[in-house]
Structure 1
Amino acid sequence: MSTKSPYRSFSALFLTTLLMLVAQGSLSTYLGLSLAQQNVDSIWIGALMSCYYLGLVLGSKLGHKVIAQVGHIRAFVASAAIVSACAMTHVLTNQLEIWLLMRIIVGMGMMCQYMVLESWLNEQTESSQRGTVFAFYMITSYLGMIGGQLMLSQFPELGISPLLIISMCYSLCIVPIALTKRIHPAPLQPAPLKILAFWRQVPQSLTAVTVAGMMAGSFYGLAPAYAASKGMETEQVTLFMSMTILAGLLAQWPMGKISDRIPRSRILRFNAAALTILTLLIALLPLTGIALLLATFCYGILAFTLYPIASAFANQNVEQNDRVALSATILLTFGLGACFGPLLASTLMQFIGPVMLYAFISCCAFTLFLRLLRVNYTQKQVKRMLDQQQNAQFKMGSGDLVSSPLAAALDPRVDEDTVMTQMHDEDFIATRRQVPAGYDEDIEQEVADDSFDALVISESESANQSNN
């Protein structure tokens, strides 16, 4: 690995990723356009995308078992064959219930394929090249999705030809990984899920991941139908989708650099506020042509960077040995958000109109902004209360007595009435319990206090004893 370029070392995996994403990117758009041309209710289009993400969620558990039992390459080959067959099923029948089932199976197969590729890259990439390898992996993924849109633009009447090419790409993506000369990675170990624990520890990040999932699922599933409702032809719809995905691709590197210099919580709040305004304008104004393409380009920059920033924000606030479990929780959270988002958006579009796609996204972004503001305000209030309780130069001892509010009450430097009030204030204790150290980057705190939770519990117990 050290004597070769990382691009050459993993060229087979990158080519597999490219072919796989060409098929996936074009299939989602094809199904949305096909149903829109048939004047099928929007709720069915949203349900198709929701079923795909439901399949991703279910496939995360199944994929681990399959890869552990038969190995990476056999698991990938089997999954790709099943996904290819499901794509061709859309040629054989127009029954929507069967299409929903096929989308669930495709989601499960795609998750298994993603797990094979990403675990392979994770295991065999040197630490010094990990960032480069995964950056190229993400670039390849985005290029594949753009290529899928461009391929679809060559078939304005749709028909079965795009589905034949999609099935061919799903089949051909097996070839590079099956013929690779690289050593096979070790079987995957199931990652434990600690959803509630992580929601208490990094609620800002997981809230942003959930909203990002709702936006992504709604956009990929319903944006083609929205564009078609604006009178766009197939070529214009694919250009509309390509511009948005291209914006997300171009924004990854500069936004990553910015997030290394500016607190990520501030960037999340800015993105949420900007998305609220932008999507509301798209919903309310009769944008067409260049103006609409420019608006969707800006949307791609803001929306497609929410997930990576939130993921990085979450990882910086957990210990190294918790990051595998955190990654599993993030993927599950994103998948659940992407399941519910298209269903809600499509229901609104069905009863009110296509503009409700962006109105729904605007509501999601505004809710995220309010949530982030509240969390940041709560953290600052808690820190201010803590600063009032103890002098910065006073060193706390050990034991239950000195770690409780009663010890602060005995300290002549602390106002006794304030401490006694807080000892009996259950809301104050509950608030501190919910906000761990390092909860928000905007708080000036050089070293996170890992014993925060234990301190809060001790104070709560001492307060209960005082009440008794």
Structure 2
Amino acid sequence: MSGKHPYRSFSALFLTTLLMLVAQGSLSTYLGLSLAQQNVDSTWIGALMSCYYLGLVLGSKLGHKVIARVGHIRAFVASAAIVSTCAMSHVLIDELAIWLVLRVVVGMGMMCQYMVLESWLNEQTESSQRGTVFAFYMITSYLGMIGGQAMLSQFPELGTAPLLIISMCYSLCIVPIALTRRIHPAPLQPAPLQIFIFWKKVPQSLTAITVAGMMAGSFYGLAPAYAASKGMSTEQVTLFMSVTILAGLLAQWPMGKISDRIPRSRILRFNAAVLTILTLLIALLPLSGLLLLFATFCYGILAFTLYPIASAFANQNVEQNDRVALSATVLLTFGLGACFGPLLASALMQLIGPSMLYAFISCCAFALFLRLLRVNYTQKQVKRMMDEQQNAQFKMGSGDLVSSPLAAALDPRVDEEVVLAQMHDEEYQAARQQVPAGYDEDVELDKSDDSFEQVDADGSKANKPVDDSSLTDSSDDTSPKADKQAKQQT
């Protein structure tokens, strides 16, 4: 890749990504609008989006096996063909229960395609250009989704024509990757899942990722139905969706720069607090026209930057060798959140009204804000307690020599015969070995009667007083005990 620009080196992969996201971005909006025009319950619309994200979760495991067995290009071609067939099946099948199955299959195929593209970019990108390559990859993805909305706006009556174009895009995305001259990467290695371990290590990040998944799934699946309920035409709905996605695209770079200078936990709390207020206003106020577009633009800035900031925050708090497992956990957590979010939001919309979409998102953001505050406060309290305990404890030394009678032998004020007797006494040594790790001798001896059981040279046991100065710092000559012993000796 040396001597070439990153976008030229991976032009085939980027073109494939663009075509794939045009199809995916328009398919979700098409299904939502189509069902809304038929006055289908919002629960079905939410279930369709939940099934798609369920397919993404299931496809993460299946994709590894397929790619390892047949290779990247063959796995991508097979997945694209299946997804294209599922998209066209919506023309022939009207049964909503079968549509749910089709959405699961589409999600599994899309996850396999994502894994092929991202693993290819990861393996063959030089470290010095990795940031540029993935930034261009994300820009291409967002442009593809916006292009899908623009394509859909050309068909106000919907019909079957958009599904034909979607199927064509899914089919055409095979061509660039099948004809590329780049060597395909090595087979993928399965990434272990350590969900509970990472929930303890990075609770703030995974909580934010879960809520981000709930928001994203609810918005992509139900926002077209919400916009249609406000009397918007197909062109206005696609404009509404495009403005939100464009805001997320434009906010990625500046928000990333800000998160490098300001603590990411603070940015997450700020986003959650502002999202709570903004979405509540959208739900309660009768916004329309430019004011609604401005509100959804602000929503896109805040909501679509939660995931990348939380992901970066998680990676900065784990070791390098744990990041592969963390990546798998992050994707699974996001997918699970995106599965449950649309189901809950659609149920509320069905019971109360379309405005409950943003009321639900407001509740999610408020719950995230409270959770982040609590976890952050708890972590600060634990850290403060640990620092206080560390500063309060005074230890004379460390190592095996401290717990050995040889330490006393180095002190010129201790009788050498007593030390030798202690070193040769087996019972004394056995008792000393039973002292647990981390045992603080100074505390225990302080609580005693300034005496302990010693052994005479002839092996008999007797209670003999001990010079306290041998148990304290030799430089401390001004303690009350030292003064009292000096008077007794005089």
Q: Please state how far the C-alpha of 1:383 moved relative to its aligned partner.
A: 1.8
> Root-mean-square deviation (CA), in Å?
1.6
* 1:221-370 aligned within 5 A: 221-370=221-370
Q: Please state how far the C-alpha of 1:144 moved relative to its aligned partner.
A: 0.1
Q: Please state how far the C-alpha of 1:248 moved relative to its aligned partner.
A: 0.2
Distance in 2, Cα, partners of 1:70 & 1:206: 33
Q: Does the 8 A contact of 1:397 with 1:403 survive in 2?
A: no
* 1:430-445 aligned within 5 A: none
* 1:64-75 aligned within 5 A: 64-75=64-75
Distance 1:394 1:246, change over 3 A: farther
SS at structure 1 position matched to 2:188: coil
Q: Please state how far the C-alpha of 1:379 moved relative to its aligned partner.
A: 1.2
> What residue number does 2:218 align with?
218
Q: Deviations over 1:312-360 (max 9, x none)?
A: 0000111111111100000000000000000000000000000100000
Distance 1:179 1:229, change over 3 A: same
Q: Please state how far the C-alpha of 1:393 moved relative to its aligned partner.
A: 9.6
Q: Structure 2 regions of 5+ residues with no counterpart?
A: 401-434, 447-490
Q: Does the 8 A contact of 1:389 with 1:408 survive in 2?
A: no
Are 1:96 and 2:134 counterparts?
A: no
> What residue number does 2:163 align with?
163
SS at structure 2 position matched to 1:118: helix
Q: Deviations over 1:177-227 (max 9, x none)?
A: 000000110000000111111111111100000000000000000000000
The aligned amino acid for 1:146 is I
Distance 1:183 1:389, change over 3 A: same
SS at structure 2 position matched to 1:40: coil
The aligned amino acid for 1:279 is T
Distance 1:117 1:296, change over 3 A: same
Q: Please state how far the C-alpha of 1:73 moved relative to its aligned partner.
A: 0.2
Distance 1:166 1:385, change over 3 A: same
Q: Please state how far the C-alpha of 1:389 moved relative to its aligned partner.
A: 1.6
* 1:395-410 aligned within 5 A: 397=398, 403=438
> What residue number does 2:123 align with?
123
Q: Does the 8 A contact of 1:14 with 1:137 survive in 2?
A: yes
> What residue number does 2:76 align with?
76
Distance in 2, Cα, partners of 1:72 & 1:202: 32
Q: Does the 8 A contact of 1:20 with 1:173 survive in 2?
A: yes
Distance in 2, Cα, partners of 1:389 & 1:411: 20
Q: Deviations over 1:103-126 (max 9, x none)?
A: 000000000000000000000000
Distance 1:219 1:238, change over 3 A: same
* 1:107-186 aligned within 5 A: 107-186=107-186
Q: Please state how far the C-alpha of 1:394 moved relative to its aligned partner.
A: 5.4
Compare CA radii of gyration and give the structure with the larger one.
Answer: 2
Distance in 2, Cα, partners of 1:385 & 1:165: 62
Q: Give percent identity, aligned residues only.
A: 87
SS at structure 2 position matched to 1:275: helix
Distance 1:411 1:31, change over 3 A: farther
Q: Does the 8 A contact of 1:214 with 1:337 survive in 2?
A: yes
Q: Does the 8 A contact of 1:88 with 1:164 survive in 2?
A: yes
Distance in 2, Cα, partners of 1:109 & 1:32: 20
SS at structure 2 position matched to 1:122: helix
The aligned amino acid for 1:75 is A
Q: Please state how far the C-alpha of 1:380 moved relative to its aligned partner.
A: 1.4
Distance in 2, Cα, partners of 1:64 & 1:372: 34
> What residue number does 2:455 align with?
none
Distance in 1, Cα, partners of 2:243 & 2:380: 40
The aligned amino acid for 1:21 is L
> What residue number does 2:417 align with?
none
Distance in 1, Cα, partners of 2:248 & 2:92: 35
Moved more, 378-387 or 202-211: 378-387
SS at structure 1 position matched to 2:391: coil
The aligned amino acid for 1:338 is A
Q: Please state how far the C-alpha of 1:392 moved relative to its aligned partner.
A: 7.9
Distance in 2, Cα, partners of 1:384 & 1:325: 30
Q: Does the 8 A contact of 1:205 with 1:313 survive in 2?
A: yes
Q: Deviations over 1:126-153 (max 9, x none)?
A: 0000000000000000000000000000
Q: Please state how far the C-alpha of 1:403 moved relative to its aligned partner.
A: 3.8
Distance in 2, Cα, partners of 1:139 & 1:393: 54
Q: Please state how far the C-alpha of 1:311 moved relative to its aligned partner.
A: 0.4
Distance in 1, Cα, partners of 2:311 & 2:380: 23
Q: Does the 8 A contact of 1:402 with 1:408 survive in 2?
A: no
Q: Does the 8 A contact of 1:21 with 1:145 survive in 2?
A: yes
> What residue number does 1:458 align with?
none
Instruction: Normalising by structure 1, report the TM-score.
Output: 0.86
Distance in 1, Cα, partners of 2:24 & 2:229: 23
Distance in 1, Cα, partners of 2:200 & 2:394: 29
Distance 1:223 1:387, change over 3 A: same
The aligned amino acid for 1:114 is Y
* 1:5-44 aligned within 5 A: 5-44=5-44
Instruction: Normalising by structure 2, report the TM-score.
Output: 0.82
Q: Does the 8 A contact of 1:214 with 1:340 survive in 2?
A: yes
Distance in 1, Cα, partners of 2:98 & 2:301: 35
Distance in 1, Cα, partners of 2:301 & 2:438: 47
> What residue number does 1:187 align with?
187
The aligned amino acid for 1:78 is A
> What residue number does 1:378 align with?
378
> What residue number does 2:486 align with?
none
Distance 1:407 1:169, change over 3 A: farther
Aligned length: 411
The aligned amino acid for 2:52 is Y
> What residue number does 2:483 align with?
none
Distance 1:410 1:70, change over 3 A: same
